[in-house]
């Protein structure tokens, strides 16, 4: 809250002048409007400037003085980053001295003798006002934590560079800190702020050797606009920035990813940074390389992804999304018994053909459009459960994926309730799958939401368990009913004994948590037998069946019903 004393604060003016009569004249002119302090030479003036640097609004500085003249004062102010922002009006009777003073940083000058009081007052008032406006702009243009430009000013200055220096070839760089929220949660926000400042310092060091500007665009995203260089040079830039973060802590693994859009004539800064961000995001999840250059292949991918985003609404309306079903078998039964299935979405585009889920699901997850696909799949899956129940008398539970975007949607629970009511289903028939990685984002809030869904009766399956995100102590607090083992453990199960030991460990964890395990990606009889002997409960994979469209899966159900009758 601003105090009234702050609103009424008078500006403090320092007069540095060796002639007492001139000090008196200036005092009479200014004393009604300003608080005044005086110095009789430059040396005393510098002492008073340092003592009052936070309160001074302006300095009136004579140029010709004993001990230390005004030119030396201007030089010292210019060399001091804390003092150079204080505006200075020089006092002189020598015309030739004015240019030199302005070159040393003076804001204006007042000619001696002081023949018009209003001129002196007007110049002091104008320079103070201009200085305060400049300070306000600078406080708004800089991120207070890192000192880099804020987003709005950064893009404004980038546009000006292109406008006034059209011959400069500029590159766009986007840098993100991977899983920065986890760094904050694990090591504390104070440490997280140190990480941001350290990265900003590294970026400033890089800019010392080139022409460019930088910004902290978002919490953990930094943009750099700099003169073009060879693509191979950016490997050194990345390594230099990463090494600075490696120095910070042996306990915390902090990784950055970097995308670069090299110069291309006719592309605006905004477009360049959009493409650099695409390159940066393509690094996400990659263990091989954390730096990527935007190239023609990425441009084609960007156009393809934009086409998918443009076509999404029409695709849902036109029912281009088709739900396939992959069965889960209880392999402890003899013979193995169909227990449930997972609903998996496919996109049959009328022009682009069958589009892989790997192309559109991560895209829609990143831009928040996945909810439209999720809701469509849930509705189709719920109707399918009801149709097989009414047509075949066979009640088969189906699992549907619950994306992070849906988990935090306040409309989630009422929508699910409405879906069950419309199809006369219970929560036992529609199971919800949540990926293990989702539990690391807003973990406590997510755990609360999942807990509420379980209270409603829904069974929660943790998908991709073992992909590397969960800590064991966190796992014990997660509300889950089923663990779905990541398929990477199954791929080399027969050749690699270590993989089998990991599977046994996961099964032991599940036993401790008193939840069954579903093994995904089972393709061979040998894999199935090893899992059965290890007491794995359920199996999903090509050994039993690939994902099937509804009509083919219905035949599988009929076959299962016949097996049941024969037994």
What distance, in Å, lies between the first and last C-alpha atoms of the chain?
80
Eight-state DSSP code of residue 179:
T
- Alpha-carbon dihedral of residues 190, 195, 201, 207, nearest 10 degrees? -140
Q: Find the range with the poorest average confidence among 147-151, 412-416, 437-441, 526-530.
A: 437-441
In sequence order, what are the beta bridge partners of 174? 223, 259
| Overall average pLDDT of the 395-414 stretch | 89
Secondary element (H or E) of residue 57: strand 56-62
Radius of gyration for the chain, computed over Cα atoms and rounded to the nearest angstrom: 34
pLDDT at site 564:
65
140-164 burial, b for 16+ CB within 10 Å, e for fewer? ebbbeebebbbeebbbeebeebeee
C-alpha 354 chain-centroid distance: 31
What is the CATH code of the structural domain delimited by 4-141?
3.40.50.2300
- Whether cis (ω within 30° of 0) applies to the bond prior to 335 is yes
pLDDT at site 448:
85
User: Is 175:241 a contact under the CB 8 Å cutoff?
Assistant: yes
The residues near 128 (Cβ < 8 Å, ≥ 6 apart) are 11, 57, 58, 87
3-state class percentages of the chain: helix first, strand second, coil last, to nearest 5 = 50, 20, 30
pLDDT at site 345:
95
Q: Taking the CA of residue 333 as centre, how many other CA atoms within 13 Å lie in the half-sphere pointing to its CB? A: 13
pLDDT at site 409:
84
In degrees and rounded to multiples of 5, residue 510 shows phi and psi of: -65, -40
pLDDT at site 1:
30
Q: Find the range with the poorest average confidence among 89-103, 140-154, 214-228, 297-311.
A: 89-103
pLDDT at site 214:
94
Superfamily of domain covering 151-294:
Reverse transcriptase/Diguanylate cyclase domain (3.30.70.270)
Pick the more confident residue, 85 or 428.
Answer: 428
Residue corresponding to tokens 């042996």: 250
Residue corresponding to tokens 């078998």: 329
Beta strands in 203-307 (DSSP E): 212-216, 221-227, 256-261, 291-293
Q: pTM value?
A: 0.59
Q: Residues 279-282: contacts with CB within 8 Å, 24+ apart?
A: 279/174, 280/174, 280/175, 280/176, 281/366
Q: Find the range with the poorest average confidence among 104-113, 397-406, 497-506, 509-518.
A: 497-506
pLDDT at site 434:
86
Closest CA to 557 of 323, 345, 327: 327
CA distance 311 to 265: 30
The two tokens of residue 275 are 């493409």
Q: Give tens-digit pLDDT for 147-174.
A: 899 988 899 899 999 999 999 999 999 9
CA distance 527 to 546: 16
> CA-based angle 450:452:457, to the nearest 5?
95
- Chain mean pLDDT for the chain: 86
CA distance 57 to 405: 51
CA distance 36 to 30: 8
Q: Which CATH class is domain 303-566?
A: alpha beta
In degrees and rounded to multiples of 5, residue 166 shows phi and psi of: -65, -15
Q: Give tens-digit pLDDT for 83-109.
A: 888 999 998 877 777 788 888 888 888
Beginning with the edge strand found earlier in the chain, give each strand of the sheet holding 108-111 in spatial order.
35-39, 12-16, 56-62, 88-92, 108-111
Pick the more confident residue, 173 or 119.
Answer: 173
Q: Give tens-digit pLDDT for 229-288.
A: 988 889 999 999 999 998 887 667 888 999 999 998 888 999 999 989 988 987 765 445
The residues near 407 (Cβ < 8 Å, ≥ 6 apart) are 434, 438, 446, 449, 450
- Residue-range domain boundaries for the chain: 4-141, 151-294, 303-566
């Amino acid at each position: 809250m601003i105090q009234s004393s702050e609103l009424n604060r008078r500006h403090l003016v320092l007069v540095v002048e060796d002639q007492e009569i001139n000090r008196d004249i200036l005092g009479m002119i200014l004393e009604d409007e300003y608080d005044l302090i005086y110095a009789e030479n430059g040396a005393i003036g510098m002492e008073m400037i340092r003592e009052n640097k936070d309160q001074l609004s302006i300095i009136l500085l004579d140029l010709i003085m004993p001990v230390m003249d005004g030119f030396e004062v201007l030089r010292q102010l210019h060399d001091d980053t804390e003092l150079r922002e204080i505006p200075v009006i020089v006092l002189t009777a020598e015309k030739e001295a004015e240019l030199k003073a302005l070159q040393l940083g003076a804001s204006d000058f007042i000619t001696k003798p002081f023949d018009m009081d209003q001129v002196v007052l007007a110049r002091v008032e104008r320079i103070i006002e201009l200085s305060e406006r400049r300070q306000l702009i600078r406080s708004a243009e800089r991120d207070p934590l890192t000192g880099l430009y804020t987003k709005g000013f950064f893009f404004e200055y980038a546009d000006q560079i292109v406008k006034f220096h059209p011959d400069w070839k500029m590159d766009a760089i986007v840098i993100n800190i991977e899983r920065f929220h986890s760094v904050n949660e694990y090591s504390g926000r104070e440490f997280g702020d140190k990480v941001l400042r350290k990265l900003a310092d590294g970026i400033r060091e890089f800019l010392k050797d080139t022409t460019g500007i930088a910004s902290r665009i978002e919490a953990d995203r930094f943009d750099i606009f700099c003169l073009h260089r060879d693509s191979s040079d950016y490997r050194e830039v990345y390594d230099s920035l990463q090494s600075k973060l490696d120095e910070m802590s042996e306990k915390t693994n902090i990784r950055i990813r970097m995308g670069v859009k090299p110069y291309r004539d006719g592309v605006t800064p905004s477009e360049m940074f959009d493409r650099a961000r695409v390159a940066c995001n393509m690094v996400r999840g990659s263990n091989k390389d954390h730096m990527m250059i935007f190239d023609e292949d990425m441009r084609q991918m960007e156009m393809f992804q934009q086409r998918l985003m443009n076509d999404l609404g029409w695709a849902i309306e036109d029912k281009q999304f088709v739900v396939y079903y992959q069965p889960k078998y209880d392999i402890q039964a003899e013979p193995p018994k169909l227990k449930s299935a997972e609903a998996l979405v496919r996109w049959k585009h009328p022009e682009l053909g069958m589009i892989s889920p790997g192309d559109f699901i991560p895209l829609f997850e990143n831009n928040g459009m996945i909810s439209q696909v999720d809701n469509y799949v849930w509705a189709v899956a719920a109707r399918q459960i009801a149709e097989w129940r009414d047509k075949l008398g066979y009640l088969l539970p189906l699992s549907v994926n619950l994306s992070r975007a849906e988990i935090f949607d306040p409309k989630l629970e009422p929508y699910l309730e409405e879906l069950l009511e419309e199809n006369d289903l219970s929560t036992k028939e529609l199971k919800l799958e949540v990926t293990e990685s989702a539990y690391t984002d807003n973990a406590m809030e997510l755990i609360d939401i999942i807990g509420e869904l379980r209270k409603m009766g829904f069974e929660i399956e943790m998908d991709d368990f073992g992909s590397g995100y969960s800590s064991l102590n966190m796992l014990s607090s997660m509300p889950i009913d089923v663990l779905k083992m990541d398929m990477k453990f199954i791929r080399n199960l027969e050749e690699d004994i270590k993989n089998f030991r990991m599977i046994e460990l996961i099964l032991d964890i599940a036993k401790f948590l008193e939840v069954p395990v579903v093994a995904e990606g089972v393709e061979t009889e040998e894999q199935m037998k090893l899992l059965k002997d290890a007491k794995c409960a359920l199996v999903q994979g090509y050994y039993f069946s690939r994902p099937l469209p509804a009509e083919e899966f219905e035949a599988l159900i009929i076959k299962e019903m016949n097996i049941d009758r024969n037994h």
